[in-house]
Structure 1
Amino acid sequence: ENFQKVGAFKFRGAFNAVASLKEEELKKGVATHSSGNHAAALALSAKMHGVKAYIVMPHTAPAIKKKAVEGYGAEIVFSEPTLESRQETLNKVVEETGAHFVPPFNDVRIIAGQATAAKELIEETDKLNFIIAPVGGGGLLSGTSLSAKYFGSNIKVIGAEPKGADDAFRSIRDNKIYLSVNPQTICDGLLTSLGDITFEVIKENVHEIITVKEETIIEAMRMIWERMKIIIEPSSAVVLAVVLENKEKFQNRNVGLILSGGNVDLEKLPWNK
Protein backbone atom coordinates (compact mmCIF):
# COMPACT_ATOMS: atom_id res chain seq x y z
CA GLU A 1 0.00 0.00 0.00
CA ASN A 2 3.05 2.29 0.01
CA PHE A 3 2.39 2.58 -3.76
CA GLN A 4 -1.27 3.50 -3.18
CA LYS A 5 -2.50 7.07 -3.75
CA VAL A 6 -1.23 9.26 -0.86
CA GLY A 7 1.26 6.48 -0.13
CA ALA A 8 -0.98 4.53 2.25
CA PHE A 9 -3.99 2.19 2.48
CA LYS A 10 -6.02 5.00 4.05
CA PHE A 11 -7.02 6.30 0.62
CA ARG A 12 -9.29 3.26 0.13
CA GLY A 13 -11.47 4.00 3.15
CA ALA A 14 -11.52 7.77 2.73
CA PHE A 15 -12.50 7.58 -0.93
CA ASN A 16 -15.22 5.03 -0.19
CA ALA A 17 -16.62 7.23 2.60
CA VAL A 18 -16.67 10.41 0.47
CA ALA A 19 -18.12 8.53 -2.52
CA SER A 20 -20.96 7.25 -0.32
CA LEU A 21 -22.11 10.75 0.74
CA LYS A 22 -25.18 12.30 -0.83
CA GLU A 23 -24.74 15.43 -2.94
CA GLU A 24 -26.41 17.53 -0.26
CA GLU A 25 -23.96 16.27 2.40
CA LEU A 26 -20.94 16.98 0.19
CA LYS A 27 -21.78 20.64 -0.42
CA LYS A 28 -20.31 21.91 2.85
CA GLY A 29 -17.22 19.76 2.56
CA VAL A 30 -15.73 17.07 4.78
CA ALA A 31 -13.71 17.20 7.99
CA THR A 32 -11.63 14.86 10.12
CA HIS A 33 -8.88 14.69 12.73
CA SER A 34 -5.80 12.68 11.85
CA SER A 35 -2.08 12.65 12.56
CA GLY A 36 -1.22 11.70 9.04
CA ASN A 37 -2.27 9.28 6.35
CA HIS A 38 -6.05 9.58 6.79
CA ALA A 39 -5.63 13.35 6.61
CA ALA A 40 -3.93 13.15 3.21
CA ALA A 41 -6.36 10.46 2.05
CA LEU A 42 -9.43 12.55 2.89
CA ALA A 43 -7.84 15.69 1.43
CA LEU A 44 -7.25 13.95 -1.92
CA SER A 45 -10.64 12.20 -1.90
CA ALA A 46 -12.34 15.56 -1.31
CA LYS A 47 -10.30 17.18 -4.09
CA MET A 48 -11.30 14.38 -6.50
CA HIS A 49 -14.95 15.01 -5.63
CA GLY A 50 -14.52 18.78 -5.97
CA VAL A 51 -15.29 19.58 -2.32
CA LYS A 52 -13.45 21.31 0.54
CA ALA A 53 -11.63 19.33 3.25
CA TYR A 54 -10.88 20.59 6.77
CA ILE A 55 -8.21 18.60 8.58
CA VAL A 56 -7.48 18.83 12.31
CA MET A 57 -3.88 17.74 12.90
CA PRO A 58 -1.74 17.73 16.05
CA HIS A 59 1.09 20.24 15.69
CA THR A 60 3.46 17.29 16.36
CA ALA A 61 2.50 15.50 13.11
CA PRO A 62 5.44 14.63 10.80
CA ALA A 63 6.37 17.41 8.38
CA ILE A 64 5.95 15.13 5.35
CA LYS A 65 2.31 14.51 6.32
CA LYS A 66 1.50 18.20 6.90
CA LYS A 67 3.03 19.04 3.52
CA ALA A 68 1.02 16.33 1.74
CA VAL A 69 -2.29 17.53 3.22
CA GLU A 70 -1.59 21.12 2.17
CA GLY A 71 -0.54 19.89 -1.28
CA TYR A 72 -3.96 18.32 -1.81
CA GLY A 73 -5.61 21.67 -1.08
CA ALA A 74 -7.09 20.95 2.35
CA GLU A 75 -7.28 23.49 5.15
CA ILE A 76 -5.29 22.42 8.23
CA VAL A 77 -6.40 23.40 11.74
CA PHE A 78 -3.78 22.55 14.37
CA SER A 79 -4.54 21.06 17.80
CA GLU A 80 -2.64 19.62 20.77
CA PRO A 81 -1.62 15.96 20.30
CA THR A 82 -4.21 14.62 22.78
CA LEU A 83 -7.37 12.92 21.53
CA GLU A 84 -9.43 15.31 23.67
CA SER A 85 -7.91 18.39 22.01
CA ARG A 86 -8.26 16.90 18.53
CA GLN A 87 -11.93 16.10 19.20
CA GLU A 88 -12.70 19.55 20.62
CA THR A 89 -11.01 21.29 17.69
CA LEU A 90 -12.85 19.08 15.21
CA ASN A 91 -16.22 19.77 16.86
CA LYS A 92 -15.54 23.49 16.54
CA VAL A 93 -14.64 23.14 12.83
CA VAL A 94 -17.78 21.09 12.09
CA GLU A 95 -19.93 23.58 14.00
CA GLU A 96 -18.50 26.57 12.13
CA THR A 97 -18.43 25.07 8.62
CA GLY A 98 -21.19 22.45 8.58
CA ALA A 99 -18.69 19.99 7.07
CA HIS A 100 -19.46 16.25 7.22
CA PHE A 101 -17.23 14.36 9.67
CA VAL A 102 -15.40 11.39 8.12
CA PRO A 103 -13.82 9.34 10.95
CA PRO A 104 -10.32 7.91 10.48
CA PHE A 105 -11.26 4.29 11.25
CA ASN A 106 -14.35 3.71 13.40
CA ASP A 107 -16.87 3.76 10.55
CA VAL A 108 -18.35 0.97 8.43
CA ARG A 109 -17.67 2.84 5.15
CA ILE A 110 -14.02 3.29 6.12
CA ILE A 111 -13.68 -0.37 7.16
CA ALA A 112 -15.27 -1.56 3.91
CA GLY A 113 -12.80 0.54 1.93
CA GLN A 114 -9.79 -0.73 3.87
CA ALA A 115 -11.04 -4.31 3.42
CA THR A 116 -10.32 -4.12 -0.31
CA ALA A 117 -6.54 -4.33 0.29
CA ALA A 118 -6.80 -7.85 1.74
CA LYS A 119 -9.50 -8.76 -0.80
CA GLU A 120 -7.05 -8.01 -3.62
CA LEU A 121 -4.30 -9.97 -1.86
CA ILE A 122 -6.61 -12.99 -1.49
CA GLU A 123 -7.63 -12.75 -5.15
CA GLU A 124 -3.96 -12.82 -6.18
CA THR A 125 -3.15 -15.97 -4.21
CA ASP A 126 -5.45 -18.65 -2.85
CA LYS A 127 -2.75 -20.31 -0.75
CA LEU A 128 -2.56 -18.03 2.30
CA ASN A 129 -2.45 -19.48 5.82
CA PHE A 130 -2.04 -16.10 7.54
CA ILE A 131 -2.49 -12.42 6.80
CA ILE A 132 -0.76 -9.98 9.14
CA ALA A 133 -1.92 -6.35 9.27
CA PRO A 134 -0.86 -3.47 11.56
CA VAL A 135 -3.32 -2.27 14.18
CA GLY A 136 -3.77 1.29 15.45
CA GLY A 137 -7.41 2.35 15.42
CA GLY A 138 -8.28 -0.97 13.82
CA GLY A 139 -9.81 0.05 10.48
CA LEU A 140 -7.33 -1.90 8.36
CA LEU A 141 -7.25 -4.92 10.68
CA SER A 142 -11.08 -5.03 10.86
CA GLY A 143 -11.39 -4.82 7.09
CA THR A 144 -8.66 -7.43 6.60
CA SER A 145 -10.42 -9.86 8.94
CA LEU A 146 -13.74 -9.41 7.11
CA SER A 147 -12.14 -9.99 3.70
CA ALA A 148 -10.43 -13.13 5.01
CA LYS A 149 -13.76 -14.34 6.40
CA TYR A 150 -15.87 -13.71 3.31
CA PHE A 151 -13.40 -14.11 0.44
CA GLY A 152 -10.69 -16.37 1.87
CA SER A 153 -10.52 -19.99 2.88
CA ASN A 154 -9.40 -20.73 6.43
CA ILE A 155 -7.01 -17.75 6.65
CA LYS A 156 -5.95 -16.68 10.15
CA VAL A 157 -5.68 -12.91 10.50
CA ILE A 158 -3.14 -11.52 12.95
CA GLY A 159 -2.82 -7.95 14.18
CA ALA A 160 0.69 -6.52 14.58
CA GLU A 161 1.31 -3.92 17.27
CA PRO A 162 4.34 -2.30 18.94
CA LYS A 163 4.92 -3.33 22.58
CA GLY A 164 5.21 0.36 23.45
CA ALA A 165 1.68 1.01 22.13
CA ASP A 166 -0.09 -2.24 22.96
CA ASP A 167 -3.56 -0.92 23.80
CA ALA A 168 -5.29 -3.08 21.14
CA PHE A 169 -3.58 -6.24 22.43
CA ARG A 170 -4.69 -5.45 26.00
CA SER A 171 -8.19 -4.43 24.89
CA ILE A 172 -8.84 -7.76 23.16
CA ARG A 173 -7.20 -9.74 25.98
CA ASP A 174 -9.31 -8.08 28.69
CA ASN A 175 -12.45 -7.60 26.59
CA LYS A 176 -12.64 -3.83 27.16
CA ILE A 177 -11.28 -0.87 25.22
CA TYR A 178 -8.14 0.67 26.70
CA LEU A 179 -7.19 4.14 25.55
CA SER A 180 -3.73 4.68 24.09
CA VAL A 181 -1.96 6.58 26.89
CA ASN A 182 1.57 7.91 26.33
CA PRO A 183 2.54 5.39 23.62
CA GLN A 184 6.30 4.88 23.18
CA THR A 185 6.98 3.82 19.60
CA ILE A 186 8.39 5.07 16.30
CA CYS A 187 5.21 3.80 14.61
CA ASP A 188 3.47 7.18 14.39
CA GLY A 189 0.56 5.63 12.47
CA LEU A 190 -0.31 3.21 15.29
CA LEU A 191 -0.90 5.56 18.21
CA THR A 192 -4.71 5.49 18.22
CA SER A 193 -7.01 3.37 20.40
CA LEU A 194 -9.60 0.99 18.97
CA GLY A 195 -13.12 2.32 18.37
CA ASP A 196 -16.29 0.54 19.49
CA ILE A 197 -16.96 -0.76 15.95
CA THR A 198 -13.40 -1.90 15.19
CA PHE A 199 -13.12 -3.49 18.66
CA GLU A 200 -16.14 -5.73 18.04
CA VAL A 201 -15.06 -6.73 14.51
CA ILE A 202 -11.52 -7.55 15.68
CA LYS A 203 -12.74 -9.42 18.76
CA GLU A 204 -14.92 -11.63 16.58
CA ASN A 205 -12.74 -12.19 13.52
CA VAL A 206 -9.04 -11.73 14.33
CA HIS A 207 -7.08 -14.80 15.44
CA GLU A 208 -4.72 -12.85 17.73
CA ILE A 209 -2.74 -9.64 18.16
CA ILE A 210 1.03 -10.01 18.53
CA THR A 211 3.19 -7.25 19.98
CA VAL A 212 6.80 -6.63 18.93
CA LYS A 213 9.87 -4.77 20.19
CA GLU A 214 11.03 -1.44 18.74
CA GLU A 215 14.41 -2.82 17.70
CA THR A 216 12.71 -5.57 15.68
CA ILE A 217 10.48 -2.99 13.96
CA ILE A 218 13.59 -1.01 12.96
CA GLU A 219 15.32 -4.21 11.81
CA ALA A 220 12.27 -5.15 9.71
CA MET A 221 12.00 -1.67 8.21
CA ARG A 222 15.67 -1.68 7.27
CA MET A 223 15.42 -5.19 5.81
CA ILE A 224 12.55 -4.17 3.50
CA TRP A 225 14.38 -1.00 2.40
CA GLU A 226 17.62 -2.93 1.80
CA ARG A 227 16.38 -6.16 0.26
CA MET A 228 13.15 -5.20 -1.48
CA LYS A 229 14.34 -1.70 -2.45
CA ILE A 230 11.04 -0.13 -1.39
CA ILE A 231 10.29 2.65 1.07
CA ILE A 232 7.95 1.79 3.92
CA GLU A 233 7.17 3.65 7.14
CA PRO A 234 7.76 2.08 10.59
CA SER A 235 4.02 1.37 11.02
CA SER A 236 4.28 -0.96 8.00
CA ALA A 237 7.40 -2.73 9.25
CA VAL A 238 5.56 -3.99 12.33
CA VAL A 239 4.05 -6.85 10.27
CA LEU A 240 7.44 -8.24 9.24
CA ALA A 241 8.65 -7.72 12.82
CA VAL A 242 5.94 -10.18 13.94
CA VAL A 243 7.39 -12.82 11.61
CA LEU A 244 10.98 -12.10 12.67
CA GLU A 245 10.10 -12.54 16.35
CA ASN A 246 7.97 -15.67 15.76
CA LYS A 247 9.87 -17.62 13.10
CA GLU A 248 8.76 -21.07 14.27
CA LYS A 249 5.08 -20.13 14.19
CA PHE A 250 5.26 -19.10 10.53
CA GLN A 251 7.79 -21.64 9.27
CA ASN A 252 6.66 -23.39 6.05
CA ARG A 253 3.44 -21.34 6.03
CA ASN A 254 2.19 -18.91 3.40
CA VAL A 255 2.04 -15.52 5.07
CA GLY A 256 0.55 -12.37 3.55
CA LEU A 257 1.90 -9.10 4.94
CA ILE A 258 0.04 -5.86 4.39
CA LEU A 259 2.61 -3.07 4.06
CA SER A 260 0.32 -0.24 5.05
CA GLY A 261 2.22 2.82 3.83
CA GLY A 262 5.45 4.55 2.91
CA ASN A 263 5.15 8.09 4.27
CA VAL A 264 8.36 8.31 6.23
CA ASP A 265 10.21 11.48 7.17
CA LEU A 266 13.57 11.01 5.45
CA GLU A 267 15.20 13.39 7.94
CA LYS A 268 14.32 11.03 10.79
CA LEU A 269 15.25 7.53 9.66
CA PRO A 270 15.48 5.30 12.76
CA TRP A 271 18.93 3.94 11.88
CA ASN A 272 20.41 7.45 11.42
CA LYS A 273 21.10 8.04 15.09
Structure 2
Amino acid sequence: MKLNGILPALVTPFNAAGKVDHDTLASILETQLAAGVSGFVPLGSTGEYYALANDERRQILATVKEVVGGRGTLIAGANGSCTREVLEQVSQTVDAGYTNLLIAPPYYALPSQAELLAHYQTILDTFPDINVVLYNYPIRTNVEVGMDVIAALHEHPRVLGIKESSGNLLRAIEIGEQYKGLQLSCGSDDQALDFYLWGADSWICGPANIFPEKVVAFHRTFTGGDIRGAQEIMRTMFPVMANLESGKFVQKVKYGTELAGFKVGNARAPLLPLTEEEKVEFRRVFEACQG
Protein backbone atom coordinates (compact mmCIF):
# COMPACT_ATOMS: atom_id res chain seq x y z
CA MET A 1 0.00 0.00 0.00
CA LYS A 2 1.27 3.44 -0.91
CA LEU A 3 1.47 6.14 1.74
CA ASN A 4 0.68 9.27 -0.20
CA GLY A 5 -0.65 12.76 0.33
CA ILE A 6 -1.88 14.54 3.42
CA LEU A 7 -3.10 12.32 6.25
CA PRO A 8 -4.45 14.49 9.08
CA ALA A 9 -3.46 13.40 12.57
CA LEU A 10 -6.98 13.98 13.82
CA VAL A 11 -7.84 15.98 16.92
CA THR A 12 -10.42 14.49 19.25
CA PRO A 13 -13.19 17.08 19.81
CA PHE A 14 -14.83 17.31 23.23
CA ASN A 15 -18.12 19.00 24.01
CA ALA A 16 -18.89 21.31 26.93
CA ALA A 17 -19.46 18.29 29.17
CA GLY A 18 -16.06 16.86 28.28
CA LYS A 19 -17.45 14.00 26.20
CA VAL A 20 -16.24 13.10 22.71
CA ASP A 21 -18.22 15.18 20.20
CA HIS A 22 -18.87 12.79 17.32
CA ASP A 23 -20.92 15.30 15.31
CA THR A 24 -18.03 17.76 15.30
CA LEU A 25 -15.61 14.96 14.46
CA ALA A 26 -17.77 14.05 11.45
CA SER A 27 -17.82 17.70 10.32
CA ILE A 28 -14.02 17.92 10.58
CA LEU A 29 -13.67 14.76 8.50
CA GLU A 30 -15.98 16.07 5.78
CA THR A 31 -14.20 19.43 5.67
CA GLN A 32 -10.81 17.79 5.32
CA LEU A 33 -12.06 15.40 2.65
CA ALA A 34 -13.44 18.36 0.71
CA ALA A 35 -10.00 19.98 0.96
CA GLY A 36 -8.45 16.94 -0.71
CA VAL A 37 -6.73 14.96 2.04
CA SER A 38 -5.78 11.38 1.23
CA GLY A 39 -6.85 9.77 4.49
CA PHE A 40 -6.80 10.06 8.26
CA VAL A 41 -4.90 8.97 11.34
CA PRO A 42 -7.21 8.79 14.37
CA LEU A 43 -6.04 7.97 17.90
CA GLY A 44 -2.56 9.40 17.58
CA SER A 45 -0.69 11.85 19.78
CA THR A 46 -2.66 14.81 18.40
CA GLY A 47 -5.87 12.89 19.10
CA GLU A 48 -4.98 12.51 22.79
CA TYR A 49 -5.03 8.73 22.52
CA TYR A 50 -3.46 8.40 25.97
CA ALA A 51 -6.28 10.40 27.63
CA LEU A 52 -9.18 8.42 26.16
CA ALA A 53 -11.10 5.57 27.76
CA ASN A 54 -11.21 2.35 25.80
CA ASP A 55 -14.90 2.75 24.95
CA GLU A 56 -14.15 6.23 23.61
CA ARG A 57 -11.43 4.83 21.38
CA ARG A 58 -13.78 2.23 19.94
CA GLN A 59 -16.46 4.85 19.30
CA ILE A 60 -14.00 7.19 17.58
CA LEU A 61 -12.80 4.37 15.35
CA ALA A 62 -16.41 3.61 14.44
CA THR A 63 -17.24 7.24 13.63
CA VAL A 64 -14.18 7.72 11.44
CA LYS A 65 -14.80 4.45 9.62
CA GLU A 66 -18.47 5.22 9.04
CA VAL A 67 -17.95 8.79 7.82
CA VAL A 68 -14.92 8.18 5.61
CA GLY A 69 -15.93 4.83 4.16
CA GLY A 70 -13.82 4.20 1.08
CA ARG A 71 -12.94 7.85 0.52
CA GLY A 72 -9.51 7.75 2.15
CA THR A 73 -6.76 5.65 3.66
CA LEU A 74 -7.24 4.99 7.37
CA ILE A 75 -4.30 4.37 9.70
CA ALA A 76 -5.26 4.02 13.36
CA GLY A 77 -3.02 4.50 16.34
CA ALA A 78 -2.83 1.46 18.62
CA ASN A 79 -0.42 1.95 21.48
CA GLY A 80 0.25 1.16 25.09
CA SER A 81 2.88 0.69 27.76
CA CYS A 82 3.58 -3.02 27.19
CA THR A 83 3.22 -5.66 24.48
CA ARG A 84 0.14 -7.21 26.09
CA GLU A 85 -1.68 -3.88 26.12
CA VAL A 86 -0.71 -3.07 22.54
CA LEU A 87 -1.94 -6.46 21.36
CA GLU A 88 -5.29 -5.74 23.03
CA GLN A 89 -5.47 -2.34 21.33
CA VAL A 90 -4.56 -3.83 17.96
CA SER A 91 -7.23 -6.49 18.41
CA GLN A 92 -10.02 -4.00 19.04
CA THR A 93 -8.78 -1.81 16.17
CA VAL A 94 -8.87 -4.79 13.81
CA ASP A 95 -12.36 -5.63 15.11
CA ALA A 96 -13.39 -2.09 14.13
CA GLY A 97 -12.37 -2.80 10.53
CA TYR A 98 -8.90 -1.25 10.38
CA THR A 99 -5.97 -3.02 8.75
CA ASN A 100 -3.35 -0.24 8.85
CA LEU A 101 -1.93 0.68 12.25
CA LEU A 102 0.48 3.32 13.51
CA ILE A 103 2.52 1.84 16.35
CA ALA A 104 5.12 3.59 18.50
CA PRO A 105 7.47 1.97 20.99
CA PRO A 106 5.86 1.14 24.35
CA TYR A 107 6.24 4.11 26.64
CA TYR A 108 7.55 3.92 30.23
CA ALA A 109 8.96 0.38 29.84
CA LEU A 110 12.04 1.69 27.98
CA PRO A 111 12.71 -1.46 25.93
CA SER A 112 16.12 -2.09 24.41
CA GLN A 113 16.36 -2.19 20.63
CA ALA A 114 16.31 -6.01 20.67
CA GLU A 115 13.22 -5.92 22.88
CA LEU A 116 11.57 -3.33 20.65
CA LEU A 117 12.19 -5.47 17.58
CA ALA A 118 10.68 -8.47 19.37
CA HIS A 119 7.68 -6.28 20.30
CA TYR A 120 7.01 -5.34 16.68
CA GLN A 121 7.60 -8.89 15.49
CA THR A 122 5.10 -10.23 18.04
CA ILE A 123 2.45 -7.82 16.73
CA LEU A 124 3.11 -8.79 13.11
CA ASP A 125 3.08 -12.50 13.92
CA THR A 126 -0.08 -12.29 16.03
CA PHE A 127 -2.03 -10.35 13.40
CA PRO A 128 -1.06 -11.64 9.95
CA ASP A 129 -3.57 -9.44 8.13
CA ILE A 130 -2.45 -6.00 9.35
CA ASN A 131 0.02 -3.48 7.98
CA VAL A 132 2.20 -1.48 10.37
CA VAL A 133 3.55 2.04 10.11
CA LEU A 134 6.37 2.50 12.60
CA TYR A 135 6.10 5.66 14.68
CA ASN A 136 9.30 7.26 15.90
CA TYR A 137 8.50 10.00 18.43
CA PRO A 138 11.17 9.70 21.14
CA ILE A 139 10.21 12.94 22.87
CA ARG A 140 6.98 11.20 23.90
CA THR A 141 8.09 7.57 24.31
CA ASN A 142 11.71 8.16 25.42
CA VAL A 143 12.63 5.28 23.10
CA GLU A 144 13.83 5.63 19.53
CA VAL A 145 12.95 3.26 16.71
CA GLY A 146 16.64 2.77 16.05
CA MET A 147 18.40 1.94 12.82
CA ASP A 148 18.90 -1.69 13.87
CA VAL A 149 15.13 -2.09 14.18
CA ILE A 150 14.57 -0.32 10.86
CA ALA A 151 17.21 -2.48 9.17
CA ALA A 152 15.49 -5.61 10.44
CA LEU A 153 11.99 -4.55 9.38
CA HIS A 154 12.40 -2.37 6.30
CA GLU A 155 11.85 -5.24 3.86
CA HIS A 156 8.99 -6.84 5.79
CA PRO A 157 6.05 -6.92 3.36
CA ARG A 158 3.61 -5.59 5.99
CA VAL A 159 5.79 -2.85 7.44
CA LEU A 160 4.72 -0.02 5.17
CA GLY A 161 6.78 2.88 6.40
CA ILE A 162 7.74 5.11 9.26
CA LYS A 163 6.26 8.32 10.61
CA GLU A 164 9.42 10.12 11.60
CA SER A 165 8.73 12.66 14.36
CA SER A 166 12.14 12.89 16.01
CA GLY A 167 12.88 16.36 14.64
CA ASN A 168 16.25 14.99 13.48
CA LEU A 169 16.37 15.74 9.77
CA LEU A 170 19.66 13.89 9.29
CA ARG A 171 18.00 10.73 10.58
CA ALA A 172 15.11 11.18 8.15
CA ILE A 173 17.57 11.62 5.29
CA GLU A 174 19.42 8.46 6.31
CA ILE A 175 16.19 6.45 6.37
CA GLY A 176 15.14 7.79 2.99
CA GLU A 177 18.50 7.06 1.41
CA GLN A 178 19.38 3.70 2.97
CA TYR A 179 16.03 1.96 3.35
CA LYS A 180 14.22 2.40 0.07
CA GLY A 181 11.70 -0.32 0.92
CA LEU A 182 10.40 1.70 3.86
CA GLN A 183 8.15 4.63 2.97
CA LEU A 184 9.12 7.83 4.76
CA SER A 185 6.22 9.91 6.10
CA CYS A 186 6.78 13.36 7.55
CA GLY A 187 5.92 13.64 11.23
CA SER A 188 7.91 16.81 11.95
CA ASP A 189 5.62 19.53 10.67
CA ASP A 190 8.18 22.31 10.51
CA GLN A 191 10.43 20.09 8.35
CA ALA A 192 7.82 19.00 5.80
CA LEU A 193 9.51 20.65 2.81
CA ASP A 194 12.82 19.02 3.72
CA PHE A 195 11.14 15.62 4.07
CA TYR A 196 9.61 15.94 0.62
CA LEU A 197 12.94 16.97 -0.88
CA TRP A 198 14.46 13.80 0.57
CA GLY A 199 11.80 11.42 -0.73
CA ALA A 200 8.71 11.56 1.49
CA ASP A 201 5.41 11.28 -0.36
CA SER A 202 3.13 11.69 2.64
CA TRP A 203 2.69 13.92 5.65
CA ILE A 204 0.85 12.71 8.76
CA CYS A 205 -0.09 16.20 9.67
CA GLY A 206 -1.44 17.84 12.82
CA PRO A 207 -1.77 21.28 11.16
CA ALA A 208 -4.20 19.74 8.63
CA ASN A 209 -6.79 20.23 11.36
CA ILE A 210 -6.15 23.97 11.15
CA PHE A 211 -5.73 24.70 7.43
CA PRO A 212 -6.23 21.54 5.36
CA GLU A 213 -6.44 23.47 2.08
CA LYS A 214 -2.95 24.91 2.56
CA VAL A 215 -1.22 21.64 3.40
CA VAL A 216 -2.98 19.89 0.52
CA ALA A 217 -1.92 22.73 -1.79
CA PHE A 218 1.66 22.28 -0.58
CA HIS A 219 1.59 18.56 -1.36
CA ARG A 220 0.01 19.00 -4.77
CA THR A 221 2.35 21.82 -5.74
CA PHE A 222 5.45 19.88 -4.73
CA THR A 223 4.40 16.62 -6.37
CA GLY A 224 3.40 18.58 -9.47
CA GLY A 225 7.04 19.58 -9.86
CA ASP A 226 6.83 23.18 -8.64
CA ILE A 227 9.31 23.08 -5.80
CA ARG A 228 9.63 26.85 -5.58
CA GLY A 229 5.85 27.19 -5.38
CA ALA A 230 5.72 24.59 -2.60
CA GLN A 231 8.41 26.54 -0.77
CA GLU A 232 6.31 29.70 -0.99
CA ILE A 233 3.28 27.91 0.46
CA MET A 234 5.42 26.54 3.26
CA ARG A 235 6.84 29.99 3.90
CA THR A 236 3.33 31.29 4.63
CA MET A 237 2.62 28.38 6.98
CA PHE A 238 5.99 28.23 8.68
CA PRO A 239 5.33 30.74 11.51
CA VAL A 240 2.37 28.59 12.58
CA MET A 241 4.48 25.42 12.33
CA ALA A 242 7.24 27.01 14.41
CA ASN A 243 4.74 28.14 17.03
CA LEU A 244 3.25 24.65 17.24
CA GLU A 245 6.66 23.05 17.64
CA SER A 246 7.69 25.49 20.38
CA GLY A 247 5.56 23.69 22.97
CA LYS A 248 1.99 22.80 23.96
CA PHE A 249 1.45 21.20 20.56
CA VAL A 250 -1.88 19.51 21.28
CA GLN A 251 -3.40 22.59 22.92
CA LYS A 252 -2.29 24.78 20.03
CA VAL A 253 -3.62 22.44 17.37
CA LYS A 254 -6.96 22.36 19.17
CA TYR A 255 -6.99 26.15 19.46
CA GLY A 256 -6.09 26.45 15.78
CA THR A 257 -8.93 24.10 14.93
CA GLU A 258 -11.22 26.36 16.95
CA LEU A 259 -9.98 29.39 14.98
CA ALA A 260 -10.79 27.42 11.83
CA GLY A 261 -14.41 27.17 12.96
CA PHE A 262 -14.76 23.98 14.99
CA LYS A 263 -15.53 23.82 18.69
CA VAL A 264 -13.22 21.03 19.80
CA GLY A 265 -12.84 21.89 23.49
CA ASN A 266 -9.68 21.91 25.56
CA ALA A 267 -7.13 19.14 25.83
CA ARG A 268 -7.72 16.74 28.69
CA ALA A 269 -5.77 16.95 31.94
CA PRO A 270 -3.00 17.00 32.81
CA LEU A 271 -2.69 19.39 29.86
CA LEU A 272 -3.99 22.84 30.71
CA PRO A 273 -5.60 25.35 28.34
CA LEU A 274 -3.42 27.96 26.67
CA THR A 275 -3.00 31.23 28.53
CA GLU A 276 -4.50 34.35 26.99
CA GLU A 277 -1.01 35.49 26.03
CA GLU A 278 -0.35 32.19 24.24
CA LYS A 279 -3.67 32.46 22.43
CA VAL A 280 -2.92 36.00 21.30
CA GLU A 281 0.46 34.96 19.88
CA PHE A 282 -0.95 31.90 18.13
CA ARG A 283 -3.87 33.88 16.71
CA ARG A 284 -1.42 36.46 15.38
CA VAL A 285 0.55 33.91 13.31
CA PHE A 286 -2.65 32.10 12.29
CA GLU A 287 -4.26 35.27 10.96
CA ALA A 288 -1.07 36.28 9.15
CA CYS A 289 -1.03 32.86 7.48
CA GLN A 290 -4.67 33.24 6.42
CA GLY A 291 -3.98 36.66 4.94
TM-score scaled to structure 1, two decimals? 0.28
